[in-house]
Amino acid sequence: MKRMISIVLALVLIFALMTPLYAATAPTLTKCSITTSELATFNYLLYTPANATPNMPLLVYLHGGSGKGDNLDLLTANDGFPKYLQDGTLGSIPAYVVIPQLPSSKKGWADVKVSLKELINSISTTYAINAKKISLTGHSMGGTGTWSIAVSYPGLFSCIAPLSGSIQNTTANVTALSKMPVWAFVGYADTIVDPTQSENFITSLKAVNSAAQITIFDGATHFDVPALTYLDKNINIVNWLISNSK
């Protein structure tokens, strides 16, 4: 009897020691901040995927104008993608996601491009991110930011998906994005940001980049585009973003 009890206790102990190796972890969305060379405090949300491991992709999301400030709750209250991420609408994403918050004193994302790069580098080092799978997306001001940051650091990103953003159709911009997969999204009824800017730029970009494309939503307004893009299972843009490699 004593021998049987000893065997049972030994098995229980072995199981207890092995359990942490196989225990599943749930995804989290955490409020964070970092000090950069430009900003004393740069706030951001960090999504850590379930069962995170080294060498995972990183998706960077840039919010629109309503998210500016020093209150991270604004991002999930007023902007599509962060809210979908927080409430689970997008499901479990097998990648880290960083959602920085632009200070209200700054006009646009180009004003903090150095801080963005420093933030991405910090997260990449801390969480052993796959450097070949760092993607960028955003809507409205964040769509324009996606264009401008990618043009500034084309070697940093594996692909980009700007939504309802603006970009100048210049030779320099076309050259900067000539080797990067680009998928732009616009609503044809957008009266805030002219959708033909993205359309004309993609036309020029396609001449040198076969991985450039645009989806135009007929009848869609500026604020219709995020749901039409991020929630469409046929588009499956999140998977496209985290699957592309440099």
β-partners of residue 215 are: 185
Residue pair 145/58 in contact by the 8 Å Cβ criterion? no
pLDDT of 17 strictly over 80:
no
pLDDT of 15 strictly over 50:
no
Indicate whether 19 belongs to any domain. no
8-state DSSP, 110: G
Q: What three-state secondary structure class fits 163?
A: strand
184: left (phi over 0), alpha (psi -120 to 50) or beta: beta
114-159 tens-digit pLDDT:
999 999 999 999 999 999 999 999 999 999 999 999 999 999 999 9
pLDDT of 3 strictly over 50:
no
65-117 tens-digit pLDDT:
999 999 999 999 976 999 999 999 999 999 999 999 999 999 999 999 999 99
Indicate whether 216 belongs to any domain. yes
Indicate whether 226 belongs to any domain. yes
Domain limits at 60?
25-243
Average pLDDT along the chain? 91
**Tokens encoding 26:** 């749930």
pLDDT of 23 strictly over 50:
no
Indicate whether 2 belongs to any domain. no
CA 216 – CA 186 distance, rounded (Å) = 5
pLDDT score, position 8: 36
Give the CATH number of the domain where residue 66 resides.
3.40.50.1820
pLDDT score, position 12: 36
pLDDT score, position 11: 38
Instruction: Quote the number of domains for the chain.
Output: 1
For tokens 């989806």, the residue is 215
Indicate whether 191 belongs to any domain. yes
